[in-house]
Amino acid sequence: MADNMISVLQEVTDWSIPNGMYHVDKNGHLVAYQAPEAELKVFSKPMKLFSKSRRKFKKVGEYAN
């Protein structure tokens, strides 16, 4: 895996709010988010407070940044 790879994670947590797609860098920082039926929101700086705890994800892809 290259240093600049972004993993695309689909949240699969079973709860009452819609699950989105999360684009996460190699450090686990959130670089982009896409809510269901919405456009991709790319952040100007990676969000370092993103946490996968208490949630479930499946990796659906990756790409070079």
CB 35 within 8 A of CB 23: no
Q: Residue 4: pLDDT band by 50, 70, 90 thresholds?
A: confident
- The pTM for the full model equals 0.89
Q: How many separate domains does the chain show? A: 1
Tens of pLDDT along 24-59?
A: 999 999 999 999 999 999 999 999 999 999 999 999
Residue 64 Cα to chain centre, angstroms = 14
A 10 A CB-CB count for 23 gives: 23
Domain extent at residue 56? 5-64
What is the pLDDT at residue 2?
A: 62
